[in-house]
C-alpha cells in the first residue's frame, strides 16, 4: 500500500465520523443552516425586500419568501450580473454558472466562495466515504478522468462565468493534479467529438483507475476506446475500480457498460447541479443518496401532486414521508431563496435521510392524466432489458395523442438499442406491464381502453448523439430529456429512426 493510499484511509475515517455526526442530527443540522442563511443575508437587497431581520422561523420565512423559479428571480440575478453588490448574498458572486435554458435563454446561476467550497467538499467526501466503507483505496495512485465541459472561463463585469464542470476543474486539489487527465489543452476543446477523440489518445495507454461523467457520454468514450484498442475496458484499464456519475439514472445503461467494461465496477452516484451539491451515494450496500443537510443549503419539500396548487404546503426535513414524490425547494449560501430546482425526489430512508431522484417536475407525461414520471419509465426499462437480455444506448418517451387510422392514443418510446431483444413483443409486454404496476393512473387508462399499449420506435445507432448535436447539446453535462408531455423531442428524433 502506498503512502497516499494509506493516508486516504485515515482521512476517510475522519470524514465518515463527521458525516455520521451531522446525519444523526438532521433537524438540528438544518435549523443551524437556516438560521445562518437568514442572518448572513439580512442586509442584502433580497433580505431587506423580504424582511429577513424579522424572520425567526420557517413559517415566517414561508410568509415572506414565495417559491420562485429562475424567471421569477431573474430581476435580482441580473442586478448581480451587472456587477452590483449585496443583492442576493453579501458582496459579489465569484462565478456565474452559465446554463442554456430551453425557454428563458441563458441562465446565470450565482456561485459564491462559500457555495463552491461546499461543492468541492461534497465531491471529495463522496469518494472518502466510499474508501471508508469498502477499504478500497489503491485507486488513488492511478489516473483519474472527469469528462466535463471546458475550464476556460469568460468574464462579465469582473465576475467569471462558465459551465459548472468547467468551474470545478479549477478546484482539483494539488495532491490530485498528477492523477488528473486529460491535459488542460484537451479539456479546453469545445467540440465534443473532437475532444473525446483527443481524450482517447491521451488515456488509452494510461493506468486509469477512476472515471467520472454522465453515463451516456462516458459510454461514448468507452466505445471509442474499444474501437481503437479492440479490447474491453477492464482489459485496457486493469486497475479501473470506480465509476462516478450523476445527472441520470445509471441502471438503464448498466448492462451496456458492463459489456463494454467486461466486468462490474463499483459506482458512486452524485446529485450535483449549478445551484448546489445536494446528495451522494454513501454506501455500496444500500440504495439511495445521502441528503447533505449541513452544506449551506436549506431544503423545503412540496408534494409533487400538490405543487401546482395556489399555496402548496412547504415541508421541512422533519415533515417528509417515505415513498412520496416531492419537488425540492432550496435556499442556499449562493443567494437562491425558495428556489424551485425543478427536480423531484423520493425518500427511501429517514434514518439517515436518503433519497433517489425521480425526475423533473416539468418532465413528465400526463397528456391523459397519467402522471408518469422518469423513475417509473426507468424502472420499466431496466426490468425489460434484464428479462430480455437486451441493452440500450438511450431512450426517451412522448405521448402520441392523434395517431393515424383512428387508433387509440399511446405512449411512444424512442429507443436506441445496442442489442435488440430476440422477442420484441415480450419486451413491450414487460415495459408496459411494469409501468402499469407502478402507476395506477396509467393502468386505469389502459384497462379502460382510453390508451392502447405503448409502441416502440427504434432509433438508429448514433441517432441520439445526432439529435443532441442538432440542438447544440452534445457532450459535457447535457442530458437527454427522459420524458416529454408533447412531441417537441419526438418530432426531432423521428428524423433519426431506423
DSSP letters for 380-437? HHHHHHHHTT-EEEEEEEEEE-S-STTPPPEEEEEEEEEE--S-HHHHHHHHHHHHHH
Distance CA 359, CA 372 (A): 10
Based on the domain organization, do 432 and 380 belong to the same domain?
yes
Backbone phi and psi for residue 410, each to the nearest 5 degrees, phi listed first: -160, 170
Of 299-303, 360-364, 440-444, the range with the lowest mean pLDDT is 360-364
Q: Of 428-442, 454-468, 473-487, which range is least confident?
A: 473-487
Summarize pLDDT for 175-213 with one digit per residue, the tens: 777 889 999 899 998 888 899 899 999 999 999 999 998
Q: Is there a single domain that holds both residue 260 and residue 307?
A: yes
By mean pLDDT, which of 54-63, 361-370, 479-488 is the weakest? 361-370
The CATH number assigned to the domain holding 466 equals 3.30.300
Q: Assess whether 259 and 148 both reside in one domain.
A: yes
The CA distances from residue 212 to 145, 153, 219, in Å, are 6, 21, 11
Here the cell at position 317 is 426535513
- Reading the block at residue 474, the C-alpha cell is 452534445
Q: Are 33 and 177 members of one domain?
A: yes
SS3 assignment, position 59 = helix
Instruction: Flag whether 368 is in a domain.
Output: no
| Contact partners, residue 212, CB within 8 Å, separation at least 6 | 144, 145, 146, 147, 218, 243, 244, 245
Answer yes or no: are the C-beta atoms of 400 and 409 closer than 8 Å: yes
Q: What is the mean pLDDT of the chain?
A: 91
Based on the domain organization, do 357 and 383 belong to the same domain? no
Q: Which residues contact 382 (CB under 8 A, 6 or more apart)?
A: 251, 252, 254
Output the CA–CA distances (angstroms, integers) from residue 272 to 121, 442, 477, in the order listed. Answer: 12, 31, 11
Q: What band does 102 get if pLDDT is binned at 50, 70 and 90?
A: very low
CATH number at residue 24: 3.40.50.12780
**Domain membership flag for residue 437:** yes
pLDDT at 168: 86
**Res 128 pLDDT > 70:** yes
> Within 10 Å of residue 300's Cβ, how many Cβ atoms?
27
pLDDT at 138 over 90: yes
Confirm whether 62 is domain-assigned: yes
In a domain, 367, yes or no: no
Query: What's the number of CA atoms in the CB half-sphere (13 Å) around residue 456?
Result: 24
pLDDT digits (tens, 9 = 90+) for 431-456: 999 999 988 889 988 988 889 999 99
Q: Does one domain contain both 311 and 453?
A: no
Q: Tell me how far apart the terminal alpha carbons of the chain are, to the nearest angstrom.
A: 52
Which ranges constitute the DSSP H helices of 204-261?
A: 215-229, 233-236, 251-261
Which of these three, 315, 340, 361, is where a domain ends? Answer: 361
CB of 289 closer than 8 Å to CB of 281: yes
- Determine the average pLDDT of the residues in 120-128: 95
Give the side-chain half-sphere CA count within 13 A for 198: 16
pLDDT at 477: 67
User: What torsion, rounded to 10 degrees, do the Cα atoms 134, 182, 252, 128 define?
Assistant: 20
338 shares its domain with 385: no
The reported pLDDT for the residue numbered 417 is: 95
Short-list 456, 393, 455, 454, CA closest to 419? 393
Q: What is the pTM of this model?
A: 0.81
Q: Binning pLDDT at 50, 70 and 90, where does residue 123 land?
A: very high
Using CA atoms in the order 383, 387, 391, 396, what is the torsion angle rounded to 10 degrees? Answer: -30
pLDDT at residue 35, rounded to an integer: 98
In a shared domain, residues 64 and 200: yes
Q: Is 230 within the bounds of a domain?
A: yes
- Of the residues 331, 361, 391, which one is the last residue of a structural domain? 361
pLDDT at 255: 80
- How many domains does the structure of the chain reveal? 2
- Closest by CA to 219, choosing from 191, 239, 248, is 248
Nine-digit cell at 96? 456565474
Q: Given a cut of 60, is residue 311 above it in pLDDT?
A: yes
Q: 195 with 293, same domain?
A: yes
> Which of 105-109, 246-250, 413-417 shows the highest mean pLDDT?
413-417
If one compares 258 and 78, the residue with the highest pLDDT of the two is 78
Cell numbers found for residue 430: 414487460
- Residue 392 CA to residue 461 CA, distance in Å, equals 10
When pLDDT is averaged across residues 453-470 and rounded to a whole number, the result is 92
Instruction: Choose among 331, 334, 268, 258: nearest CA to 300.
Output: 331
% residues pLDDT > 70 (the chain): 98
Confidence of residue 103 (pLDDT cuts 50, 70, 90): very low
136-147 b/e (C-beta count within 10 Å ≥ 16 → b): bbbbbbbbbbbb
Grade residue 108 by pLDDT with cuts at 50, 70 and 90: very high
Residues 6+ apart with CB under 8 A from 315: 300, 301, 302, 303, 326
Which of residues 307, 335, 361 is at a domain's end? 361
Q: Is the pLDDT of residue 105 over 80?
A: no
Q: What are the backbone angles phi and psi of residue 295, rounded to the nearest 5°?
A: -110, 35
> Taking 50 as the threshold, does the pLDDT of residue 91 lie above it?
yes
Q: Which pLDDT score is estimated for 352?
A: 96
Task: Provide the residue range defining the domain that includes 486.
Answer: 374-496
C-alpha cell at 322: 417515505
* Same domain? 185 vs 49: yes
Other C-beta atoms lying within 10 Å of the C-beta of residue 295 = 23
Residues paired with residue 159 on neighbouring β-strands, in sequence order: 156
Sheet holding 391-400, edge to edge: 391-400, 410-419, 455-458
Same-domain pairing of 434 and 302: no
- Is 369 inside a domain boundary? no
Please answer whether residues 471 and 484 qualify as being in contact, where contact means their C-beta atoms are separated by less than 8 angstroms: no
Helix axes 215-229, 251-261, angle to 10 degrees: 20
User: Has residue 375 got a pLDDT over 90?
Assistant: no
Q: What is the pLDDT of residue 257?
A: 86
Tell me if 142 is assigned to some domain: yes
Whether 1 is in a domain gets the answer yes
Mean pLDDT of 157-167: 88
C-alpha dist (Å) from residue 324 to 304, 343, 376: 8, 14, 13
Helix or strand holding residue 289 (H, E): strand 289-291
Question: Does one domain contain both 24 and 102?
Answer: yes
d(CA 87, CA 146): 33
Query: Highest mean pLDDT: which of 51-60, 138-147, 179-188?
Result: 51-60
Question: C-alpha grid cell for residue 362?
Answer: 416539468
Amino acid at each position: 500500500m502506498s503512502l497516499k493510499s494509506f493516508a486516504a484511509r485515515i482521512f476517510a475515517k475522519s470524514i465518515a465520523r463527521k458525516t455520521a455526526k451531522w446525519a444523526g442530527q438532521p433537524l438540528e443540522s438544518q435549523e443551524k443552516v437556516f438560521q445562518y442563511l437568514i442572518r448572513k443575508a439580512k442586509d442584502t437587497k433580497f433580505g431587506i425586500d423580504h424582511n429577513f431581520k424579522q424572520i425567526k422561523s420557517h413559517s415566517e420565512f414561508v410568509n415572506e419568501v414565495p417559491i420562485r423559479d429562475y424567471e421569477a428571480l431573474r430581476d435580482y440575478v441580473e442586478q448581480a450580473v451587472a456587477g452590483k453588490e449585496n443583492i442576493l448574498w453579501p458582496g459579489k458572486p465569484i462565478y456565474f454558472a452559465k446554463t442554456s435554458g430551453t425557454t428563458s435563454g441563458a441562465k446565470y446561476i450565482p456561485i459564491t466562495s462559500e457555495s463552491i467550497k461546499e461543492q468541492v467538499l461534497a465531491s471529495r467526501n463522496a469518494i472518502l466515504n466510499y474508501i471508508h466503507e469498502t477499504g478500497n483505496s489503491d485507486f488513488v495512485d492511478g489516473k483519474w478522468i472527469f469528462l466535463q465541459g471546458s475550464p476556460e472561463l469568460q468574464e462579465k463585469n469582473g465576475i467569471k462565468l462558465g459551465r459548472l464542470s468547467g468551474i470545478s476543474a479549477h478546484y482539483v486539489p494539488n495532491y490530485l493534479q498528477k492523477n488528473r487527465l486529460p491535459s488542460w489543452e484537451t479539456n479546453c476543446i469545445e467540440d465534443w467529438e473532437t475532444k473525446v477523440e483527443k481524450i482517447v489518445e491521451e488515456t488509452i495507454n494510461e493506468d486509469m483507475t477512476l472515471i467520472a461523467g454522465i453515463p451516456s457520454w462516458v459510454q461514448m468514450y468507452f466505445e471509442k476506446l474499444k474501437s481503437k484498442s479492440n479490447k474491453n475496458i477492464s482489459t485496457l484499464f486493469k486497475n479501473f475500480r470506480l465509476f462516478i456519475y450523476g445527472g441520470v439514472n445509471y441502471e438503464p445503461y448498466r448492462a451496456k457498460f458492463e459489456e463494454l467494461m467486461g466486468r462490474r465496477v463499483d459506482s458512486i452516484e452524485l446529485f450535483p447541479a449549478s445551484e448546489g451539491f445536494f446528495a451522494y451515494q454513501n454506501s455500496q450496500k444500500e440504495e439511495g443518496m445521502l441528503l447533505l443537510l449541513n452544506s449551506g443549503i436549506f431544503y423545503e419539500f412540496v408534494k409533487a401532486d400538490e405543487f401546482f396548487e395556489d399555496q402548496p404546503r412547504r415541508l421541512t426535513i422533519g415533515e417528509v414521508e417515505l415513498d412520496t414524490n416531492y419537488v425540492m425547494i432550496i435556499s442556499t449560501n449562493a443567494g437562491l431563496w425558495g428556489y424551485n430546482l425543478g427536480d423531484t425526489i423520493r425518500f427511501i430512508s429517514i434514518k439517515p435521510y436518503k433519497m433517489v431522484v425521480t425526475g423533473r417536475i416539468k418532465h413528465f407525461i400526463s397528456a391523459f392524466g397519467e402522471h408518469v414520471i422518469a423513475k417509473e419509465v426507468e424502472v420499466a426499462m431496466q426490468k425489460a432489458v434484464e428479462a430480455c437480455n437486451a441493452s440500450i444506448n438511450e431512450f426517451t418517451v412522448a405521448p402520441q395523442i392523434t395517431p393515424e387510422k383512428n387508433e387509440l392514443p399511446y405512449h411512444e418510446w424512442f429507443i436506441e438499442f445496442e442489442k435488440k431483444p430476440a422477442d420484441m413483443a415480450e419486451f413491450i409486454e414487460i415495459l408496459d406491464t411494469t409501468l402499469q404496476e407502478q402507476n395506477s393512473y396509467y393502468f386505469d387508462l389502459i384497462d379502460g381502453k382510453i390508451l392502447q399499449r405503448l409502441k416502440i420506435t427504434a432509433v438508429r445507432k448514433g441517432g441520439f448523439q445526432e439529435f443532441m448535436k442538432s440542438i447544440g447539446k452534445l457532450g459535457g453535462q447535457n442530458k437527454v430529456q427522459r420524458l416529454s408531455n408533447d412531441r417537441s423531442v419526438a418530432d426531432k428524433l423521428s428524423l433519426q429512426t431506423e
